[in-house]
Amino acid sequence: MSDAPVEAFEPPYYAVVFTTVRTDDQSGYRETNARMEELVKDVPGYLGMDHAQNPGGLGITVAYFRDEDALMRWRTDLEHRAAQKRGRDSWYQSYTLHVAKVERSHTFTRS
């Protein structure tokens, strides 16, 4: 993840929108999150990720994948599944996950 947004890809591809509010118990979160950011890069068809966080409030992560096979590999990754369980047990007050197929997209860059 960098300061520039992930650019548009050639549709169709998938966007996974993960919107969270966290609890006061964030022990282990930072390390696990960093590990997940590394691990997802090994998924064939992973395209990129953006994250933004309101200080003390809502966070949004959007990850992009080429196809359903890539989604399935990430969803069923055992280390990722263990991290998801820790998230529900400790780190997240609430979250919503939307899995969506991108139909069109474009990027604007100031010249």
Binding site for a copy of itself (CB under 8 A): 3-8, 14-15, 17, 19-21, 23, 50-55, 57-60, 62, 64, 88, 92-110
How near is the Cβ of 7 to a copy of itself at its closest, in Å?
6
CA 36 to chain centre: 9
| Min CB(6)–a copy of itself separation in Å | 6
CA atoms of 46 and 90, how far apart (whole Å): 27
In the bound state with a copy of itself, the residue whose beta carbon lies nearer, of 42 and 85, is: 85
Q: What is the DSSP letter of 41?
A: G
Neighbours of 43 (CB within 10 A): 20
- Kindly state the smallest distance separating residue 15's Cβ from a copy of itself, in Å: 5
Residue placing its CB nearer to a copy of itself in the complex, 41 or 101: 101
For 57, counting Cβ atoms within 10 Å of its Cβ (0-12 exposed, 13-18 middle, 19+ buried), the class is: exposed
